A and B are shown apart, each in its own frame.
Chain A
């Protein structure tokens, strides 16, 4: 199970990636994040909600009210052009973060087993 602290900076990236194919609502997003993460990470509703609202405030997603297929009124979120650009930026950032951290991890594991 990944700690909430470790993954916090990348919840925005997850939400944006899920919104790329089309609009969605908060519960569906939470469910898909949990499903894709397997049992490694279960997102808290408040974490997701604040991420979505933060993205909305920065203009990276926009919201609109609509009926879900089950007939329940829901707030849907749609990624904006700025959001698409931000997503590419975040992906780039993640790749370099990952590669930097990997260098330390690899060096450490090579040190243990020469």
Chain B
């Protein structure tokens, strides 16, 4: 029901809130509520009921003449969103497709985020075992440790890839949406925006938590490096710290990714053939984190091992954390700037 109210809000939002317009909104909302209640009573699922009600809504331009707002109604949508102009090269996306695609994205969200988490943590054993073996903490040779670590890496990556492939089967019927071979339809776009709006609060909380985790990710490592400086165990604990970075980054992704589906769907459906690569920025912080921290970890390890610079190489982390904060903030600002332009 919230999606329906939000849909109506967005339909009316660009027009002056005159008494007659508010009256029309209230009465149309009443009709939609009745229709929704009826469909639910008939045993339709929430998703089906919302889809049916929005399909039966019609076109606000039709109401314009009787409300005396014809000029108000027809002008703003055309001027405000040129990207919504129907593109004749592809048939417009239908509400059924959009709903099916959104439902598929919602179904696979945990599988996709699990796969990404597996990719991020996959090198963990490879990083730990050889060092643990070398320092005599495990009764294996460091070669055996490296082998087991490598094996674990391949297994985790394989499991992640298989998960993604299996998940992609769910979205396969909506290929023309993911490949942008469709014309955006204003009412579908509004439906998707309403859906995203309903999930926006949870996405923002998840994003805040995730960014917090990513910024704090190197803390254990910095602590180990500072507290154990000079001790014979310093190398081993640094490696544990690196693994913790990966684990915390993965946890952040695990928090964020399952909450972004509605936002992503809205971005993709709004784009259509006139698409910019706008949806790439939606998870900009997540994308950066997924590559940034492992890369930083690799830099740290390479510098430390090759240059035997355990005493100083921890400096990579505070610098990296500050840089990450700047990049994430910059990405967020870029995203909102693009949004404001649209």
Contacts and interface: CB of A to CB of B under 8 A. Distances in A.
B58 A44 contact: yes
Interface in B263-308: none
B57 A53 contact: no
Interface in A39-73: 42-50, 53-54, 57, 72
7 contacts: A27-B31, A30-B56, A44-B57, A46-B60, A46-B62, A53-B24, A53-B66
Interface centre among B58, B59, B65, B67 (most CB of A within 10 A): B58
Nearest to A4: B58
Interface in B32-67: 32, 34-35, 38, 56-60, 62-63, 65-67
A46 B34 contact: no
A22 to B, nearest CB: 18
- Interface residues of A: mostly helix, strand, loop or mixed? helix
Contact of B58 (A26, A47, A54): A47
A49 B63 contact: yes
A74 interface: yes
B62 A44 contact: yes
Nearest to A28: B34
Most buried by B among A27, A45, A53, A75: A45
B241 to A, nearest CB: 60
A47 B60 CA distance: 9
B63 A50 contact: yes
Contact of A45 (B32, B65, B66): B32
B315 interface: no
A46 B58 contact: yes
B72 interface: no
Given A53-B67, A57-B66, A46 B59 contact: yes
Contacts, number: 57
A47 to B, nearest CB: 5
B56 A42 contact: yes
Contacts of A43: 56
Given A46-B62, A47-B62, A50-B63, 17 more contacts: A26-B30, A27-B34, A31-B35, A44-B56, A45-B32, A45-B56, A45-B57, A46-B58, A46-B59, A48-B31, A49-B27, A49-B63, A50-B62, A53-B66, A54-B65, A72-B34, A74-B30
Contacts of A53: 24, 63, 66-67
Interface string B143-159: 00000000000000000
Nearest to A47: B58
A57 B66 CA distance: 8
A72 to B, nearest CB: 7
A40 to B, nearest CB: 15
Interface residues on A, range: 10 to 19
B57 A46 contact: yes
Contacts of A48: 31
Nearest to A51: B66
A46 B67 contact: no
Contacts of A26: 27, 30-31
B30 A50 contact: no
B70 to A, nearest CB: 11
A31 B60 CA distance: 19
Contacts of A75: 27, 30
Nearest to B64: A50
B204 interface: no
B28 interface: yes
Given A44-B57, A45-B57, A50 B28 contact: no
Contact of A27 (B30, B59, B62, B63): B30
A46 B24 CA distance: 10
Nearest to B53: A45
Given A27-B35, A53-B67, A54-B66, A45 B30 contact: no
Between B27, B32, B35, the greatest number of chain A beta carbons within 10 A of the residue's beta carbon is seen for B27
A45 B67 contact: no
Contacts of B35: 27, 30-31, 45
Nearest to A68: B34
A77 B1 CA distance: 26
A30 B62 CA distance: 16
B66 A44 contact: no
